[in-house]
Structure 1
């Protein structure tokens, strides 16, 4: 490190120490105050907690894990709030794993599903029914013009699996690239493009799948203070890039090019990536990476797949889709989660040429395009538009980001804040200089404390040290203030 960089780093640390000391003195005795809510949950009617615990330990797969030392026993939801079996209210900042986009039990979505369930629960798409066709028309109107063919399925994993199949059939090639630290599902195909060791089983998988260096400007080998298309930037990595360029992005693209030259045939099937990695810990790719990566992939005959399972439907704020903020146009788009606000539904959208590649043999999905799911999905689009939720993601998301950045300056255990809109992450460390991940027992203690104080957040990243903050898109600045007060209280206790 150059002398002036060392001096700057020391000055920042000294200033941060002063801010942290002042903030702690001011906030040490402040109790978080939960915003009011006029919704009253119904009296609890369900299996006693002890019975649930016994059934879960005996009759459910041990692979089904629970969050928190004392698991939440959820009973009822209302917009951004969850109520447990004892009536305690929580601010849900994880939205059922980034799924309840417009809010729990949104009245418009509830009414749409009730109307549909009275008419037709289910018929497969071998018959015509209105909601499937209405939704397909509404959905493609939100995408680039030639991305106008939809295949409905049940989940993000299934949609990604199908996208990989389409890429291979269309190109006649087999090899597919993803990013290290990526999560795209756990179906047989997607296990190959999921590249997190703690999700990897000791079984042969991933034949034909390759992972390039993850363009993580905080934890990766290259990065700086101007790399992200966001107000959340890495604090202590000097960036000397000229306007319109990103040296870190160029380095990661060089790694992709090098990997393809050494490890792949001349023609490949495709490349799959999230613009902001979800399960991987809200890693926000540097600006310029995806356009250059797409160009390299297309030079080898591959198609580009945008995984919008978590970033889609307005969550990034500035755009309806993450790939739009990244400045790219994919060949295949994969959707799920917020698509129907929690109803099991996914979709693959592509152009007519790629879609036709699936017709060489029969392919069928019994529940794809289910009438109830499509009715819910139509209502979701209505709510996003009527309540201006994309705009709310931008404004409330910016407010949330700035408050989280203030926390980062106050507490030395916060290494990085990143994301855009209402897709945010806060990575915890033991040491800001070395970026050593916070020890799991400390992360869990902090996590449990925030839950006891009234907020629910996810965890992610390879080390499980990043808090994933992806709330229902209807939250308010008042909710944000409460969440920040909870984080501050829990951090003071830590």
Structure 2
């Protein structure tokens, strides 16, 4: 980077502000020392947020520094934050978030693939408020139509005999229950999951998770981790059937020949938005069935229309699982998860008492039903498909422009951009990822990061994302990359 370029970078790197922002005058004053030509050049180079007819309420709460001090004093040290200077988010509307100063950001992370309808969607808010006014909580031991109505609607979205629903509070709980049910039903303890997967942080799910950065050194038994069918970094490229042979080898040489379950995401979210190689799931499901096991589809991140092409991620692979787990997008931010399975498999839970105090809470299930209706009414699956395809095309064009981008992947509105310092060796560009992440925040775009090496941008915005939003995101990433 030349000296003039560095000088300009230093002047504007933390002052990227969109039009119509009440604090834009501060940026103009900061740049007032530049001559008019320089000022115009800088302003023209900064992408601008799409117009949005909404004004956030004035904020009178504690400052970011005060909140950060309280977090350090009272919250677990395991609770971290993004960015060198954390952003204080106080309001959200559709695909946008607002900080304590009224500045608008494009939310391209969606609360980690959780906000699907958009922040504070009026239909979802109305369902939550109305239910809360009538009955906030009782227990599923009493009758209430909210939980039954949502279970019926949810079951209608799944294929085959997947008709029995058990509600939980999170994806970890859902996966934990699914593994328990599979082991009880089959009488086998052995579970297989792909390497690089993430399924939660409880006892059984931590065992099924296959990244050391998410695993503590505690007893984790009965799980075997197969070679990951990663088309970008995997040893067999995009040949899914070759990866599937490793699962069969594990059954033959690492178990008694019988297994309890195979659990897998269709797209590995935490692992860096890895799409499983084509042909992998059908071949693996076949091997698992022959070994007497059940197939569990973890749809916590890819479910609820996010892939665009299908409502569930597993559908793109032409398979029908025995158990499906879900959370995140199911409630648009409300703590809610679910396990859906067949009537026969569901019967295993009546062997003993199994109960979840808040699973099926009327407020949460009312919100879930509203989410399903919004997805259908606003055609959010179709939007995820069209806007996601457009966004992926534009990101792929950036890949051709910058050698730092090693891979662009995913489908619909669950996309990943992996940064590497060497395209041949695929050396993770961790430091550069952090730098681009921070600069994109300064411009006005919030994205996530993931992957084992923390060098992948995770793009999982609300499904109401527009083409104009996609352009702003790519233009912001383009500018940030040009400054590396």
Give the drift of 1:29.
Answer: 6.3
- Out of 84, 87, 110, the position equivalent to 1:72 is 87
Give the drift of 1:37.
Answer: 1.0
Distance 2:87 2:138 in 1: 35
Give the drift of 1:31.
Answer: 1.8
The 3-state SS of whatever aligns with 1:362 is coil
- Out of 460, 476, 480, the position equivalent to 1:486 is 476
Equivalent pairs counted in the alignment come to 444
CA displacement 1:312-365 (0-9 Å, x = unmatched) = 111111111111111100000001001010100000000001100111000000
Unaligned runs of 5+ in 1: 1-25, 228-247
Question: TM-score with structure 2 length normalisation?
Answer: 0.90
Correspondence 1:318 to 2:309:
yes
The 3-state SS of whatever aligns with 1:161 is helix
Distance 1:281 1:441 in 2: 16
Q: Which residue of 1 aligns with 2:130?
A: 115
Distance 1:27 1:481 in 2: 19
Contact 1:68 1:448 in 2 (8 A): yes
Q: Which residue of 2 aligns with 1:13?
A: none
Give the drift of 1:204.
Answer: 2.3
Distance 1:256 1:146 in 2: 26
The 3-state SS of whatever aligns with 1:468 is strand
Distance 1:179 1:354 in 2: 23
| Bigger shift: residues 259-268 or 272-281 | 259-268
Question: TM-score with structure 1 length normalisation?
Answer: 0.88
CA displacement 1:363-394 (0-9 Å, x = unmatched) = 00000001111111111011101100000011
The 3-state SS of whatever aligns with 2:203 is coil
Unaligned runs of 5+ in 2: 1-40
Q: Which residue of 1 aligns with 2:340?
A: 349
Contact 2:407 2:419 in 1 (8 A): yes
Q: How does 1:43-122 map to 2 (within 5 A)?
A: 43-122=58-137
Give the drift of 1:462.
Answer: 0.5
Q: Which residue of 2 aligns with 1:212?
A: 226
The 3-state SS of whatever aligns with 1:64 is coil
- Out of 157, 160, 164, the position equivalent to 2:172 is 157
Q: How does 1:290-301 map to 2 (within 5 A)?
A: 290-301=281-292
- Out of 121, 125, 141, the position equivalent to 1:126 is 141
Correspondence 1:252 to 2:243:
yes
Correspondence 1:261 to 2:276:
no
Correspondence 1:376 to 2:367:
yes
- Out of 259, 270, 273, the position equivalent to 1:282 is 273
Q: Which residue of 1 aligns with 2:440?
A: 450
CA displacement 1:150-194 (0-9 Å, x = unmatched) = 000100000000000000010011000111000000011100011
Distance 1:82 1:287 in 2: 36
Contact 1:28 1:492 in 2 (8 A): no
The 3-state SS of whatever aligns with 2:97 is strand
Q: Which residue of 2 aligns with 1:42?
A: 57
Contact 1:28 1:489 in 2 (8 A): no
Contact 1:135 1:378 in 2 (8 A): yes
Distance 1:199 1:263 in 2: 24
Structure 1 residues 316 and 372: alpha-carbon distance in aligned structure 2, compared to 1, 3 A threshold:
same
The 3-state SS of whatever aligns with 1:189 is helix
CA displacement 1:24-46 (0-9 Å, x = unmatched) = xx999632111011111111132
Distance 1:84 1:30 in 2: 23
Contact 2:46 2:443 in 1 (8 A): no
- Out of 318, 341, 364, the position equivalent to 2:355 is 364
- Aligned Cα root-mean-square deviation (Å): 1.3
Give the drift of 1:124.
Answer: 1.3
Q: Which residue of 1 aligns with 2:23?
A: none
Distance 1:343 1:323 in 2: 24
Distance 2:103 2:269 in 1: 28
Give the drift of 1:259.
Answer: 1.9
